[in-house]
Amino acid sequence: TALAAARPGAMAALLQGFAEIGLEAGYRWGLFTATARLRRMAGRIGINLIELSEARQDRVPDPKNWGSYYDQQPMVCAVEGRSAQGHLNSGLLSICSPRKSVTAQ
């Protein structure tokens, strides 16, 4: 399964939802691949990702179907759920959310 979001704030909201669902299901750790951009976003809001390995294009069937994904330096990462949820729920999520535009009247 692959996930994508139109803007960083949307991805942060997805991560928040996954943390909540995983913890409710009794999982303590999450394991996923994260591009360099997603790892930077996680770091900015204080989430400690543990980089386990490079995600390798030769490990997936039909790597051409992944387009330029592997040009984004994806890494296999682990994250402790309670810690991630704490950062996502602490209000730091607003750092990644788009600012509302104000229209002059």
CA distances from 58 to 27, 32, 62, 72 (A): 29, 17, 9, 15
Model-level pTM?
Answer: 0.75
Predicted local distance difference test score (pLDDT) of residue 94: 52
Is 100 buried (19+), middle (13-18) or exposed (0-12) by CB count in 10 A? exposed
The region of weakest confidence among 5-14, 22-31, 60-69, 76-85 is 5-14
- What are the chain's domains? 8-95 (3.40.630.30)
Q: For 72, which DSSP code?
A: G
pLDDT band at 16 (very low <50, low <70, confident <90, very high): confident
DSSP string, the chain: -----SSHHHHHHHHHHHHHHHHHTT--EEEEEE-HHHHHHHHHTT---EEEEE--GGGSSSGGGGTTGGGG--EEEEEEHHHHHHHIIIIIHHHHSPPPP----
* pLDDT tens, position by position, 39-81: 998 888 888 999 999 999 999 999 899 899 999 999 999 999 8
Residue with tokens 């600012």: 99
Average pLDDT over residues 84-89: 78
